[in-house]
A and B are shown apart, each in its own frame.
Chain A
Amino acid sequence: MPLSPAITNLEELKSHPALALLLAWNPSAVEAVKYDRDEMTIYVDRSPIREACAILKDDSECEFNFLSDITCVDWYPAEPRFEVVYHLLSISKKERLRLKVRLGSSSPVVESVTAVWPGANYFEREIFDLFGVRFSGHPYLRRLLMPEDWEGHPLRKDYPVEGYR
């Protein structure tokens, strides 16, 4: 199965229920979209991410009630440097959706979604630990995997694979 090119045109994807829902709620929240390899990605603005998640979770049409995963990608030295990636799953509709929030290196802060899914707790702590992205409103934002006194954030691209010598 040869790869078909990614669709990034907002107009073409408007019929996707999750995208339609977000556009109807707040058109300025959607920055961009991408449909690639049968996976839907919506780039959401930083400030309304928690509300966007809550709406996608509670809407009866979409019902993305399960948070599969949150992770982060570091695009150093490009700006905006960080992409926080949310993978949502709808248990009833058997659909997946990816949300992305882009953050600049000067203030990598995004609102925590622990209020929507308590299960986001460890995922966000892990990102804070390994990337140094902070989550405002997180109940207990401390290092998860690395020792408390560790310096630096190992999964950043400017952190050497062997660690600092």
Chain B
Amino acid sequence: MAHLTPTPVLEPDQNRTMILNMGPQHPSTHGVLRLILEIDGENVVRMMPDIGYLHTGIEKTCEAKFYQQVVPLTDRIDYLCPLTNNLCYVLAVEKLLGLEIPPKAQWLRVLLNELTRINSHLVWLGTHALDIGAMTVFLYCFREREDILRIFEMVSGQRMMTSYFRVGGIALEPPLGFLDRVKDFASRFPARVDEYENLLTGNPIWGMRTKGVATITAEDAIALGASGPTLRASGVDIDLRRDMPYSGYENFKFNVPVGTEGDVFARYLCRVREMRESIAIVKQAADGMPEGPIKANAPKVVLPDREKMKTEMEALIYHFKIITEGFAVPAGEVYQAVESPRGEMGYYVVSDGTAKPYRVHMRAACLANLQTLPKMCEGRLLADVVAAIGSIDIVLGEIDR
């Protein structure tokens, strides 16, 4: 963060260019992103993103918490996909512990993760279209998002900061009627995606604002560390759910939408198609939900059921010990990556054998994706900057952590 030195690097050519400060309170920067732009008339000559306004030191805080206490912190990193963050963290700790997770918990995790992906993409689509001037889509998207948030509230009691996954399983058995509600939503949703596409995909104004705008080649995207739809829209076919499956994704059938053009429109199409694939996964998960326990059989790690705790001495002791002392994790280190709505979200967890993580590092997909922004915008019109920011789908909470 360079707020004390207003223009850190960009020294304008006094005769031709000027420095324009965009953000951090600009509504289309999706949070608190500050861009320092050197412009020549309407053209962007250079761009420098300035971040850190939302830095809360979550990585440092994690080192002072027990392993199970880190889960709620992970919600706050990428507040549009809290369950993806929960999943990535618990998978990393489970890998450190060598825990095996029962199939029902895995399937529920997949189901909720895909709903999270749709939720995140809906917010992205609404705000991205709003930035470019298509107001209506925003209202349509938030209508469906509300349904998803109600489902989250149903299972976890929270609309956004869910903290629903636990090391070794999930927190609670989903309530009665949960699967019916999910199936009902899944049957309605594809028609809603058609509605969004009717408004945008063939819309000539939308096309003019997005086609051929903010292009990035596959080589540049890989070199800059871009991932997720930002990378796939440039023609690189990688999706961690399919290529390096985790949490039972190998049991589901889905396609990975890949673009070719690498422009704003290609990234838009990729994400919209991803929503259709995600809802297909949700359907498969809801239809084939296995029966069985939702927690791993590891009494020293997983909290006992409430009922057992009241009747069995041993369960009460384990409960007391986990809450007061935490659980020790064997020394070692693990890098676990999942495909978040924005790209490769990775957790690097180092254990020194105690009950608190020695180091937790989050690989933020947005931080790497943000690096592609200058490449996309330099040499282009100022008005395209807004389209480009929306198209990489940034969440500043994840960038700054």
Instruction: Indicate whether A91 sits within 8 Å of B222 (C-beta atoms), given known contacts A119-B368, A148-B1.
Output: yes
Partner of A145, one of B51, B330, B348: B51
Asked if B361 CB lies within 8 Å of chain A CBs, one says: yes
Quick check: B55 and A146 within 8 Å, CB to CB?
Answer: yes
Contact at A161–B4, with CB atoms within 8 Å? no
Q: What's the Cα separation between A144 and B52 when bound, in Å?
A: 7
Q: Please tell me if A36 contacts chain B, counting CB pairs below 8 Å.
A: yes
Pairs A-B, 3 closest by C-beta atoms: A119-B225, A145-B52, A3-B98
* A118-B224, A142-B2 given; 15 more Cβ-contact pairs under 8 Å: A39-B334, A66-B222, A66-B225, A68-B346, A69-B348, A96-B244, A117-B225, A118-B223, A120-B225, A123-B367, A126-B367, A142-B8, A143-B1, A148-B4, A155-B60
Contact check, B52 vs A91: say whether CB atoms are below 8 A apart. no
Q: Smallest Cβ distance from B340 to chain A, in angstroms?
A: 13
The contact string, 1 if C-beta is below 8 Å from chain B, for chain A 118-147, is 111111001000100000000010111111
Least distance between B36 CB and chain A CB atoms (Å) = 13
A contact residues around B97 at 8 Å (CB): 3
B358 touches A87 (CB 8 A): no
For the complex, is A2 an interface residue (Cβ under 8 Å from B)? yes
Interface membership of A50, Cβ < 8 A: no
CB closest residue in chain A, given B368: A119
Question: Which residues of B are found within 8 Å of A121, using beta-carbon distances?
Answer: 371
Taking a contact as CB atoms under 8 Å apart, the answer to whether A69 and B223 are in contact is: no
User: Does A1 count as interface, using CB distance less than 8 angstroms?
Assistant: yes
A131 to B225, CA, bound (A): 22
CA separation between A36 and B95, bound complex, in Å?
A: 11
Within 8 A of A (CB), among B87-123: 95-98, 100
Shortest CB-to-CB span from B235 to chain A, Å, is: 12
Whose C-beta in chain A lies nearest to the C-beta of B244? Answer: A94
List residues 228-247 of chain B with CB under 8 A from any CB of chain A.
Answer: 236, 238, 243-244
Measured in the bound complex, the distance between the Cα atoms of B60 and A159 in whole Å is 10
Q: Which residues of B contact A81 (CB under 8 A)?
A: none
Which chain A positions have C-beta within 8 A of B224?
117-119
Task: Give 11 CB contacts A-B under 8 Å.
Answer: A3-B97, A37-B95, A37-B96, A39-B334, A68-B337, A69-B361, A71-B361, A73-B359, A122-B371, A143-B52, A144-B52
- Once the chains bind, are B363 and A91 in contact (CB under 8 Å)? no
B2 in contact with A154 (CB, 8 Å): no
Check if A2 sits within 8 Å of B98, measured CB to CB: yes
| A112 interface contact, C-beta 8 A | no
Report if B208 contacts A (CB, 8 A). Answer: no
In the complex, how many angstroms separate the beta carbon of A92 from the nearest chain B beta carbon? 9
Residues of B within 8 A of A21 (CB): none
Measured between beta carbons, the chain A residues less than 8 angstroms from B60 are 154-155, 159, 161
A106: shortest Cβ distance to chain B, in Å?
22
Most buried by B among A36, A67, A69, A121: A69
Tell whether B3 is near chain A: CB-to-CB under 8 Å: yes
- Answer yes or no: B335 CB below 8 A from chain A CBs: yes
Bitwise interface map of A from 1 to 25 toward B, beta carbon under 8 Å scored 1, else 0: 1110010000000000000000000
Given known contacts A96-B335, A118-B223, is B244 in contact with A71 (CB within 8 Å)?
no
**Shortest CB distance A40–B (Å):** 11
Query: Within residues 348 to 363 of chain B, which ones have a CB less than 8 A from any CB in chain A?
Result: 348, 350, 358-359, 361, 363
What separation, in Å, do the CA atoms of A89 and B343 have in the docked complex?
14
B9 CB contacts on chain A under 8 angstroms: 140
Q: Which residues of A have CB within 8 Å of B51?
A: 144-145
